[in-house]
Amino acid sequence: MSGARRAPRTALVVGGGISGLVAARDLAARGLRVTLVEAADHLGGAVGAHEVAGLVLDSGAESFATRSPAVPDLLAELGLAGRVVHPNRTGSWLYLPEGAVPAPSSGVLGIPADPTAPRLRAALGRAGVLRASLDRRLPAFVGTTEASLGGLVRARMGDRVLERLVAPFTAGVHSAHPDDLDVDAVAPGLRRALREHGSLGAAAAALRLASPAGANVAGLRGGMNALSEALVHDLEEAGVKLVTDHDVIALDRDPRRDGWMVIQRQPRHGDKTAVARGELLVVATDGPTAVRLLAGHHETLQRFAPEAGPQVALATLVVDEPRLDGAPRGTGLLVSEDVRRVRAKALTHATAKWEWVREAAGPGRHVLRLSYGRAQADASAVPPEVSLPDDQLIRLALSDASTLMGVPLRPRQLVGADVVRWQSALPRAGVGHARRVAEFRRAVAELPDALAVGGWLAGTGLASVVADTRSQVRARLAAAGVPEASDPARPTRAPSSTRRKD
Ligand SMILES: Cc1cc2nc3c(=O)[nH]c(=O)nc-3n(C[C@H](O)[C@H](O)[C@H](O)COP(=O)(O)OP(=O)(O)OC[C@H]3O[C@@H](n4cnc5c(N)ncnc54)[C@H](O)[C@@H]3O)c2cc1C
């Protein structure tokens, strides 16, 4: 890009998930006139709401990692700091082939800070505990050259910790086995902490302690969907043009205005072909879509085509069962891949985890959220449970919930249920991911005034997505010569304030 060009005054954001909304907010705050185009009929992507049995609940993300200040800072800017809540400290469980056992109560990603803790004996057995405790005696460098999370855990704590504690965790959160996950992408800072503290357990404890209140995650009273809602409200106030229901199928250079334009949109309703434009382009979609939209503009981008994450389905059940009041499995369970009699990969007992959900549901009524969709050997295959029709998946979820909670749940106790399906929403951060992301970003930086953001680049999770999107936007604006705003937290009101849904 030549330094002689004037700084962009308009921006086009494609994709209205959290990364697109945050990018639009920060661009508007720097005085750019922003148009955001989203394929779905709602904004927020994986952070949204649904109503089940009269309760408004999160349909996707329900919490954020507290390891960085990124999400708390954004919430404070949006006036939501007072709604931050922490989950109940009733602990969580694992479901192994022999049944339910308590999960580690310290550490990160299922890696225990202290593998000799009595609560882990059932999961690890005597031999497993002995092997894991070797971690404290091995030299600090052992495992630090492993690229995968699985390699690192196996080298330090052995197979039992890996398969019985860490693998259920990564299956639930990343839909992948630890051997297939890039350690730096899913556990930033873990290898450095290992070198500093001398053992993996101490490194996991240090990362956990770095989180405020010692908790790994926090949420919002009323649900994380309040974040999407507040961002959308703020963008409307700032005059950002929000266009929903338009699936962007191609992007091109705008020959008249030295910018970018959506040359073809495929409206779900009607056949309008209105064109959105902007001098600065931010692609904030899932990975395969971003590569498809940008590949025509740079010959090397095509080879970065990322693996689509597996399809996942969330079945939310609202049941009347006072025996669940005592939270028999704490905040919920992660299910080991070796378990055959349960198909869910995780269950969240939302009324035990979040006080606000318990209060909203009332005595004896419980919200159980089961997730389906394990990674398949063939990444393009749809996991069999995910392809079940909703009513069958709900029946399966009720049966799985009975097994996992150890309390029989009958169809007549079900007062409401809903199934939400997500595609490509949990991108896989395979080994070498961090390097591929850096290469992809270098190639995008060679395009005129273009940027790509989102979970597939930043790593899954709101903490990563928010932090990365903001730093990428900041760096791009600096490179493009856009002056710093006096108060970056407040979007400047720009002209053109219509919200279109055409
Ligand atoms: C079920 C589920 C539960 C989760 N739970 C948590 C949690 O508890 N805590 C946590 O931190 N993280 C959680 N996550 C992960 C977190 O939600 C995501 O990492 C984050 O929301 C990703 O934001 P994003 O903007 O990158 O992507 P998305 O939210 O996927 O947004 C991308 C947007 O781009 C749009 N788009 C795609 N193609 C086009 C196109 N051609 N034209 C226009 N628009 C397009 C999509 O419709 C979508 O709205 C969860 C994810 C899922 C799916």
Condensed to tens digits (0 to 9), the pLDDT of residues 357-389 reads 999 999 999 999 999 988 766 666 778 899 999
Residue 485 has pLDDT above 90, yes or no: no
CA of 488 to the centre of ligand 1 (A): 24
The residue among 423 and 422 whose pLDDT is bigger is 422
Please give the pLDDT value at position 139.
95
**Tokens 């006096």 — which residue?**
486
Calculate the CA dihedral of residues 332, 335, 339, 340 and round it to 10 degrees: 80
Please report whether residue 497 resides in a domain. no
Q: In Å, what is the CA distance from 501 to each residue of 65, 246, 269, 485?
A: 33, 9, 10, 30
456, 169 in Cβ contact below 8 A?
Answer: no
Same domain, yes or no: 358 and 438: no
Q: Which two tokens stand for residue 241?
A: 């043009």
Residue 264 has pLDDT above 90, yes or no: no
Q: Which residues pair with 85 in a beta bridge?
A: 219
Proportion of the chain above pLDDT 90, given as a percent:
64
The residue among 336 and 492 whose pLDDT is bigger is 336
Please give the pLDDT value at position 266.
52
The residue among 213 and 395 whose pLDDT is bigger is 395
Same domain, yes or no: 417 and 466: no
Same domain, yes or no: 298 and 314: no
Please give the pLDDT value at position 213.
47
131-145, 367-381, 399-413 — which is least confidently predicted?
A: 367-381
146, 183 in Cβ contact below 8 A?
Answer: yes
Q: Which two tokens stand for residue 330?
A: 């704490």
Please give the pLDDT value at position 425.
56
Task: Classify residue 113 as exposed, middle or buried by CB count within 10 Å of its CB (0-12, 13-18, 19+).
Answer: buried
- CB contact burial 258-289 (16+ within 10 A = b; e otherwise): ebbbbbebeeeeeeeeeebbbbbbbbbbbbbb
Residue 206 has pLDDT above 70, yes or no: yes
216 lines ligand 1 (CB under 6 A): no
CA of 189 to the centre of ligand 1 (A): 24
Of ligand 1's listed atoms, the one at least distance from the Cα of 247 is: 42
| pLDDT interval class at 270 (50, 70, 90) | low
17 lines ligand 1 (CB under 6 A): yes
Mean pLDDT of the chain: 88
| pLDDT interval class at 434 (50, 70, 90) | confident
Same domain, yes or no: 332 and 399: yes
Q: Which of 479, 499, 417 is nearest to 30 (CA)?
A: 479
Number of domains in the chain: 3
CATH number of 401's domain: 3.90.660.20
| pLDDT interval class at 308 (50, 70, 90) | low
The domain boundary residue, chosen from 175, 210, 245: 210
Domain span including residue 20: 10-46+225-307+429-479
Please report whether residue 498 resides in a domain. no
| pLDDT interval class at 499 (50, 70, 90) | very low
CA of 312 to the centre of ligand 1 (A): 12
98-102, 143-147, 431-435, 460-464 — which is least confidently predicted?
A: 431-435
Residue 220 has pLDDT above 90, yes or no: yes
What is the tens place of the pLDDT at every residue in 164-182?
A: 999 988 887 777 889 999 8
Same domain, yes or no: 373 and 454: no
- Which residues neighbour 156 within 8 Å (Cβ) at sequence distance 6 or greater? 134, 135, 138, 142, 143, 194, 199, 200
Task: Classify residue 210 as exposed, middle or buried by CB count within 10 Å of its CB (0-12, 13-18, 19+).
Answer: middle
Mean pLDDT calculated for residue range 304-321: 86
The domain boundary residue, chosen from 422, 437, 462: 422
What is the tens place of the pLDDT at every residue in 244-253?
A: 998 898 898 8
CA of 30 to the centre of ligand 1 (A): 25
Please report whether residue 327 resides in a domain. yes
Please report whether residue 112 resides in a domain. yes
Residue 494 has pLDDT above 50, yes or no: no
CATH number of 112's domain: 1.10.3110.10
Q: Which two tokens stand for residue 474?
A: 């900041």
Which residue's CA is the closest to the ligand 1 atom numbered 11? 461
Please report whether residue 92 resides in a domain. no
Which amino acid is present at 499?
A: R
What is the tens place of the pLDDT at every residue in 74-97?
A: 999 999 999 999 999 888 899 999
Please give the pLDDT value at position 294.
94
- Testing ligand 1's pocket by substitution, the residue of 21, 47, 211 carrying the most ligand atoms inside 8 A of its CB is 47
Please report whether residue 490 resides in a domain. no
Same domain, yes or no: 139 and 169: yes
Residue 100 has pLDDT above 80, yes or no: yes
Same domain, yes or no: 241 and 254: yes
Please give the pLDDT value at position 329.
96
Same domain, yes or no: 199 and 109: yes
95 lines ligand 1 (CB under 6 A): no
Mean pLDDT calculated for residue range 120-136: 94
130 lines ligand 1 (CB under 6 A): no
| pLDDT interval class at 497 (50, 70, 90) | very low
Residue 229 has pLDDT above 90, yes or no: yes
Q: Which of 489, 407, 394, 480 is nearest to 445 (CA)?
A: 480
Classify 414 as helix, strand or coil: strand
Please report whether residue 255 resides in a domain. yes
Same domain, yes or no: 330 and 474: no
CATH number of 244's domain: 3.50.50.60
The domain boundary residue, chosen from 186, 210, 234: 210
Same domain, yes or no: 319 and 406: yes
462 lines ligand 1 (CB under 6 A): yes
| pLDDT interval class at 394 (50, 70, 90) | very high
254 lines ligand 1 (CB under 6 A): no
The residue among 431 and 207 whose pLDDT is bigger is 207
Q: In Å, what is the CA distance from 478 to each residue of 318, 471, 485?
A: 49, 11, 11
| pLDDT interval class at 151 (50, 70, 90) | very high
Residue 418 has pLDDT above 80, yes or no: yes
Same domain, yes or no: 302 and 437: yes
Residue 212 has pLDDT above 90, yes or no: no
CA of 96 to the centre of ligand 1 (A): 30
103 lines ligand 1 (CB under 6 A): no
Mean pLDDT calculated for residue range 425-430: 64
Same domain, yes or no: 243 and 384: no
Please report whether residue 242 resides in a domain. yes
Q: In Å, what is the CA distance from 429 to each residue of 159, 175, 438, 455?
A: 21, 10, 13, 10
Mean pLDDT calculated for residue range 179-186: 88
315 lines ligand 1 (CB under 6 A): no
In the chain, DSSP finds a helix count (H) and a strand count (E) of 17, 20
- Testing ligand 1's pocket by substitution, the residue of 109, 465, 469 carrying the most ligand atoms inside 8 A of its CB is 465
